[in-house]
Structure 1
Amino acid sequence: MKRLLLCLAFNMFSLSMYAQQTGCNCAVTLEKLMKKVEAEYPGFGVKTKDGSSYEELKQHLTREAKNADSSACEKILKKYTDFFKDPHLWVGSNGSPFSSGSSGSAASLVIDIPDFREKIKLTRDTLEGVWSTEGYKIGIKKGSRNEYTGFIIAAASTQWKAGDIKFRLFPDGSFEYLMLDRSKKTGHYHMHKKSILFLDAISMALVREVPSPSVSAAQLEEKLTELTGFYFKKLSARTSILKLPSFEYRHLQKIEELISQHRMQMEGSENLIIDLRGNPGGTTDAYQQLLPYISGKSIRNTGTEFLSTQTYIGNLQTYKKSLDKNAPTDQIDKQIDKLKENLGKFVNFSGTDKPAYIEKVELAAKSPRQIVILADKGTGSSAEYFLFIAKQSKKVKLLGTPSSGALDYGNAYQVDFGCPGYEVFIPTYRAMRLPDYPIDNIGIQPDIYMDSSVEDWVEFAVRYVEE
């Protein structure tokens, strides 16, 4: 379930033009993408059972692609992959998916920025001011109906210019935010000590610059770590919290060190809260050290079937070459051989056709009596699988909202499909619990739903385990 997704800024126009200059006009690009998905997407057969709908889509998009320019072509390609409703299947460029947004540019605010910066020094409004976050300096100005507009003062990306409207804040505590590709995200915002503005659904923290923050730099850093970083903290004599915002492979060492450093405190806690809100997943290796503390003596895992393709074989061979020369490769060699023997077929590496397998867990000598896991719509992929297996434990309760819903088809790779400048992110396996227990676009359901009236989930969780 390792994900190879890179989040990089890119210029879609220039990349698309490059693709067309090398012989891949939109019609050719669409045709190659369709052939790639039809041959290598593990969910293709199930999701095109109604053949007429799929054929109608192909014919419609093929007609559109004949005269499409680069911008229109990106939307056509996205319409095609969106048909499958799989969060792990998308088309894009340079590691980012294309947007279906209708606007190629952001709305702008007509404002004298130097004048705004000078006048805002005297404001007593808790939201108005100049704020900063990674890659952006943003002004927030109050408008009519108690709504606020966040506009660009400066941006690292050339796709945003001064005055462009980046987000809006509404009186009910909700926000609308434009991502790099102008796609819209919504969620709720929270203010901390009049100095940090946190947008929950995108895990973004903005720090106030003007007027000056009301807390010290050390206090700011502590709160920022609490909101967006990895940490372990004692909340009371009985309860501790472990915050893990990502399971991506680049954070694996940090997670292992964090758990190792606080192992005794974790074992000595009566209650443990594990905060996975906004965790997009990554590698299942990231949570292995937690299993002895949350599980029963065994875990019932979902079986998987890999679609054998030359692309996947090539990916495994590349991975094998990247290993240390002394690393054992017997297992990966067996997998490659089995895939080569079954090209075009589904392969189960577990050696059984059963839809599940049992994993024995050596329990920790001491562990928390109660465990609460916080999860939301931003909790996805391997973080969702952690929820899936954690819910099997009698001492675990899941608090929050339904998770992302991206778990039916996994182990996705970013691959070329024959047109330079374009890539498709495509899964390699399907879960054997299908079709009886789908999770994609549904999510793992919480034991206790956190409605919008619950402002502080951690405080709620502490009361839940200690009362």
Structure 2
Amino acid sequence: MNFKKLSVFLFLIISCSTFAQKCSCQDNFNWLKKNFEENDAGFQFVIDKKGPAAYQNHNVLFSQKAKKIKDLNTCRDVLFDWMLFFRPGHLSLSVNQDFAKKSVSETNTTPEKEWEKLEINEDQLKKNLSNISQPGFEGIWVSAPYTIGVAKRNNEYIGYILEAKKSKWKQYQVKFKIKENPDKTYSAVFFLGDYSSQKINEVKLIGNNFLKMGFVSLQRKFPAYQESNPEITNYVESVTTQNPFLKEISSQTILLRIPSFDYSNKKVIDSILAANKQLILSKENLIIDVRNNGGGSDASFQEIIPYLYTNPIRIIGTEYLSTVQNNKRMEEFIANPDWSVEEKEWARKGLEKLNSNLGKFVSLEDAIVQESKLNIVYTNPKNIGIIINENNASTTEEFLLQAKQSKKVKLFGTTTEGILDISNMHFVDSPCKDLKLGYSLSKSFRIPGMQIDGKGIQPDYYLDKSIPEYDWVRFTEKILKAN
């Protein structure tokens, strides 16, 4: 190798090494800001609503924060807070695992070594619990993959790990803390898988053996209290299952429970509907419980629609922001061995259209609005109630928009989360490979005329707090029967 080539080679090594070391939080902030501005489909929509001045002030504040941060996990938290200026969902920012492990190994206060613990073994806890006659927060609880002990210390209930299969959490580490509020309600601090904290504003014991803390559900393992109300038992089964199911709850009512529209559930949902078609069509009432269903794939709910259908359903389309980075997702689809020939052809045509319109929003369909028409309107079920709550988002909200166009359908529960207008997420690594950004490629033609983001979908029948959650199915059935 001659001197000139050697010099160039050494320059490249030094440059790469210098770049690899420039993984400061400020660098990551600058990259995140530029990447999001150029590629996120919802960026300009929010700037037009909130104004450039508000965005500029937001950037100044977070740039100052980023300059002071040395820890990668703290940096991630702050940068994600920056993203929340735009919307609450269809966003993500995570620490790549290799860097997470490196970060933990280099810190002097690792969670494994320094995390708060409550060292009461299971046998001792059971002995302590034998003195408690009334069911409360104290006990041994299960929320996969964790077995958690809860013991009262001073004015708090401390939840700590007894067993955590396939998790980095260690025995006796504190997983959550519950405290009583001045108004006699309870709130909690829950520590997530990466040891970051999340405040939970509502903690309640449902029946004797079910503990609900916001998005966290736990079932009592010990002591075993008798559950006197069968509706509570049914409710616990419904909200804790990971699998769709259908069952007859009375002579004229069928309950279909769908905890997720994830594509992996499509075959299960389709097979349940096919196997029980005659049963469903023989009943006047159908209740579809989608509480806590955060979304998934539109394909997963397609076989439900025929049972709801009464008239043509209008489906508002989306448009994609075409950029070099965004269009790589279509390239990934084309290269995916799991995609069919027809699906790859759709992706190929879409990619051609996108690449011909860089910097613009592009519709991949022939029309902005599609109208779905079916040939059959079933006599039964005559009345359909869909139970919803604040944890419904994304694909589930799209399902609700289509379903509520039916004359048979009413929504029961509470307003949904409101994460639908900006969608179709794509993921990219930061230049230093320490962070992975998830942002959105498309926006709905509904906005601004019918915005769901930040507003949600309201129920036809609001189920207020005087109606226990375990009674929502029976309340819905009562209304349906009265129609």
What range is the shorter-chain TM-score in?
0.7 to 0.9
Aligned twin of 2:150? 140
**Structure 2 partner of 1:205:** 218
| 1:247-258 equivalences in 2 (<5 Å) | 247-258=261-272
Amino acid at match of 1:153: L
Larger Rg belongs to = 2
Aligned counterpart in structure 1 of residue 160 of structure 2, from 151, 154, 165: 151
Question: Partners of 2:70 and 2:396 in 1: how far apart?
Answer: 38
Which position in structure 1 is the counterpart of 2:426? 413
Offset of residue 312 of structure 1: 2.6
1:370 and 1:200, CA in 2 relative to 1: closer, same or farther beyond 3 A? farther
Q: State percent identity of aligned pairs.
A: 27
C-alpha distance in 1 between matches for 2:457 and 2:239: 23
**1:79-98 Cα distance to aligned partner (Å, 9 max, x none):** 22111124112322359xx9
> Match for residue 74 of structure 1?
76
One-letter identity of the residue aligned with 2:384: I
SS of aligned partner of 1:124:
coil
Q: 2:477 aligns with which of 459, 462, 467?
A: 462
Match for 1:238: what amino acid? Q
- Shift in Å at residue 204 of structure 1? 1.8
Flag the 1:414–1:174 CA change in 2: closer, same or farther, 3 A.
farther
For 2:461, the equivalent position in structure 1 comes to: 448
Q: Match for 1:227: what amino acid?
A: V
| TM-score, normalised relative to structure 2 | 0.81
Q: 1:106-255 maps to which residues of 2 (within 5 A)? A: 108=116, 112-113=120-121, 114-127=123-136, 128-142=138-152, 148-156=157-165, 157-159=167-169, 162=172, 164-168=174-178, 175-176=187-188, 178-180=190-192, 181-192=196-207, 194=208, 196-199=209-212, 201-202=214-215, 204-208=217-221, 210-212=222-224, 214=226, 225-229=237-241, 230-255=244-269
Distance 1:295 1:186 in 2: 39
* Pick aligned residue for 1:428 from 441, 444, 448: 441
How far residue 239 of structure 1 moved from its aligned partner, in angstroms, is 0.8
Bigger mean CA offset, 161-170 vs 315-324:
161-170
Query: Corresponding residue for 1:369?
Result: 382
Letter in 2 for 1:332: A
Q: Is the Cα contact below 8 Å between 2:205 and 2:212 reproduced in 1?
A: yes
The residue number in structure 2 matching 1:54 is 55
Q: Which residue of 1 aligns with 2:107?
A: none
Distance 1:109 1:160 in 2: 9
Q: Which residue of 1 aligns with 2:313?
A: 299
What does residue 3 of structure 1 align with?
none
Contact 1:88–1:425 (Cα < 8 Å) also in 2: yes
Question: Which stretch shows the higher mean deviation, 170-179 or 440-449?
Answer: 170-179
Instruction: Please provide the CA RMSD for this pair.
Output: 3.1
Number of aligned residue pairs: 435
1:56-79 CA-partner distances (Å, limit 9, x unpaired): 222332233223112432233112
Q: Separation in 2 of the partners of 1:52 and 1:220?
A: 51
1:129-173 CA distances to partner (integer Å, 9 max, x unpaired)?
21222122222335778x754333333433465151514275967
Structure 2 unaligned runs (5+)?
1-17, 101-109
What is the rounded CA distance, in whole Å, between the counterparts of 1:21 and 1:294 in structure 2?
56
- Assess if the C-alpha contact under 8 Å between 1:293 and 1:363 holds in 2: no
Which residue matches 1:349? 364
**1:414, distance to aligned residue in structure 2 (A):** 2.5
Cα gap change, 1:159/1:284 in structure 2, threshold over 3 Å: closer, same or farther? same
Q: Secondary structure at the match of 2:162?
A: strand
Preserved contact between residue 291 and residue 361 of structure 1 (Cα < 8 Å): no
What runs of 5+ residues in structure 1 fail to find an aligned partner? 1-18, 99-103
For residues 430 and 329 of structure 2, the distance between their equivalents in structure 1, rounded to whole angstroms, comes to: 14
Q: CA deviation at 1:32?
A: 0.9
Q: State whether residues 247 and 282 of structure 1, in contact with CA within 8 Å, keep that contact through their aligned partners in structure 2.
A: yes
Higher relative contact order (CA 8 A, sep 6+): 1
Cα distance in 2, alignment partners of residues 291 and 82 from structure 1: 34
Note if contact 1:201-1:377 (Cα within 8 Å) is conserved in structure 2: no
Q: How far apart are residue 288 of structure 1 and its match? A: 0.2
Task: Say which SS state the counterpart of residue 326 (structure 2) adopts.
Answer: helix
Alpha-carbon spacing, 1:175–1:39, altered in 2? closer, same or farther (3 Å): same
1:89 aligns with 2:88: no
CA distance in 1, matches of 2:235, 2:348: 47
Deviation of residue 22 (structure 1)? 4.8
- For 1:286 and 1:325, how far apart are their aligned partners in 2? 16
User: Which whole-Å deviations, capped at 9, do the CAs of 1:276-309 have from their partners, x for residues lacking one?
Assistant: 0000100001110011111223111122111012
Q: Do the aligned residues in 2 keep the contact of 1:281 with 1:382 (CA within 8 Å)?
A: yes
Alpha-carbon deviation of 1:331? Answer: 1.9
Match of 1:7 in 2: none
DSSP 3-state at the match of 2:250? coil
| Equivalent residues of 2:310, 2:377 under 8 A apart | no
Deviation above 6 Å: which 4+ runs of structure 1? 104-107, 219-223
Contact 1:299/1:361, CA 8 A, preserved across alignment: no
Shift of 1:190: 4.2
User: Partner letter of residue 125 of structure 2?
Assistant: F
Structure 1 counterpart of 2:278: 264
3-state secondary structure, aligned to 2:151: strand
Matched, 1:31 2:25: no
> Which SS does the other structure have where 2:302 is aligned?
helix
Contact 1:305–1:430 (8 Å) recurs in 2:
yes
User: How far does residue 347 in structure 1 lie from its aligned partner after superposition?
Assistant: 0.2
